[in-house]
Amino acid sequence: MQDKLLLVATDRISAFDHVLGSPIPGKGKILTQISLFWFDFLSDIVPNHIVTANVSEFPAELQPYADQLEGRSMLVKRADMFPVECVARGYLAGSGWKEYQSAGTVCGIALPTGLQDGSRLPEPIFTPATKSQDGAHDENISFDRMAQTIGREPSTELRGLTLAIYERAAAHAESRGLILADTKFEFGRVDSKIILADEILTPDSSRFWDAGLWKPGGAQPSFDKQFVRDYLESIHWNKQAPAPSLPTEIVERTQAKYLDAFRLITGRNLSL
């Protein structure tokens, strides 16, 4: 097992760099199954770290925990991870929108004037970020700073992979009535080869919007945890510990959004 890891997705949910006091029932299973769909869907672009998600194929020492692991775990290859998050943006939102308002750029990339919150960009852009190891907030960085950190050749390769994956995933999302506004990926190396790792293209790492309701100029109806962030903003939480718990209604509506995301992305239903 030294060359493998067991990834288990819990039902906990975080926002503003804090784990909240209320879990979202079934969230870990939903996100794991979405990731597995995408890993398979994108496997011709880049290899990934999946060994198996079939619990019956897990090592013998894990079998006593099979009921707890079923549906929410993946046995994966241990990779030497790059210390950057690879972010692709096709629309202006979040930290990108904030930087654009102040500087007209995102991660140093100049953008046209006159864009709004939620505007579609002329073309998808690559905007890397630092990967915090201590729970601190990730920081958007320029491509040149990324190259200084990990080298220009791997940076160029990761940029190409990130944009290729985003464009393939965004096209699929669009065919399902969704807009993939932005997303982040984590890559590593196994036997010197670059692979896609962690979880991918879930509502925890991506902004999915309802294509039929998209209208630039403000927040968009979404299938991700922006709904939770908006609730926390509405109660004026100071974003300091302890993190608040969520009302039952917010928990239930968040679970429904995650299940809707799974159904739309995969074309299947999921029993929790």
Over the stretch 73-126, which tens digit does the pLDDT of each residue have? 999 999 999 999 999 999 999 889 999 999 999 998 999 999 999 999 999 999
Stretch 176-195: mean pLDDT: 97
Q: Encoding tokens for residue 265?
A: 């992305």
| Percent of the chain clearing pLDDT 70 (strictly above) | 97
pLDDT at 269: 92
On whether residue 91 sits in a domain, the answer given is yes
Question: Which ranges of the chain would DSSP assign to H, the alpha helix?
Answer: 27-41, 66-69, 94-103, 143-150, 152-175, 226-234, 248-266
pLDDT at 202: 96
pLDDT band of 133, cuts 50, 70, 90 = low
Q: Are residues 97 and 152 in the same domain?
A: yes
Q: Are residues 53 and 91 in the same domain?
A: no
- The HSE-up count of residue 62 (CA atoms within 13 Å, CB side) is 20
Q: Are residues 18 and 118 in the same domain?
A: no
Could you give the CA distance from residue 231 to residue 219 in angstroms, rounded to a whole number? 13
| Percent of the chain clearing pLDDT 90 (strictly above) | 88
Is residue 260 within 8 Å of 227, Cβ to Cβ? Answer: no
Q: Encoding tokens for residue 237?
A: 């939480």
Q: Encoding tokens for residue 72?
A: 């929410």
Angle at CA of residue 14, ends 224 and 47, nearest 5°: 65
- Among 215, 225, 194, smallest CA distance to 31 is for 225
pLDDT at 201: 97
Is residue 201 within 8 Å of 86, Cβ to Cβ? Answer: no
Is residue 14 within 8 Å of 132, Cβ to Cβ? Answer: no
CATH number at 170 reads 3.30.470.20
Q: Are residues 188 and 152 in the same domain?
A: yes
Over the stretch 144-183, which tens digit does the pLDDT of each residue have? 999 999 999 999 999 999 999 999 999 999 999 999 999 9
Q: Are residues 124 and 75 in the same domain?
A: no
Sequence-ordered list of residues with C-beta below 8 angstroms from that of 54, at least 6 positions apart, any chain:
none
Whole-structure pTM value:
0.93
Residue 271 has pLDDT above 90, yes or no: no
Residue 136 has pLDDT above 70, yes or no: no
Q: DSSP character for 206?
A: E
Could you give the CA distance from residue 185 to residue 166 in angstroms, rounded to a whole number? 10
Question: Which ranges of 176-247 would DSSP assign to H, the alpha helix?
Answer: 226-234
pLDDT band of 10, cuts 50, 70, 90 = very high
Residue 135 has pLDDT above 70, yes or no: no
On whether residue 167 sits in a domain, the answer given is yes
Q: Encoding tokens for residue 223?
A: 């299938």
Q: How many domains does the chain have?
A: 2
Is residue 223 within 8 Å of 33, Cβ to Cβ? Answer: no
pLDDT at 137: 63
Is residue 224 within 8 Å of 257, Cβ to Cβ? Answer: yes
pLDDT band of 1, cuts 50, 70, 90 = low
Q: Are residues 63 and 109 in the same domain?
A: no
CATH number at 53 reads 3.30.200.20
pLDDT at 238: 94
Domain of 188 in residue numbering reads as 81-194+201-213
pLDDT at 134: 58
Q: Encoding tokens for residue 214?
A: 């998209």
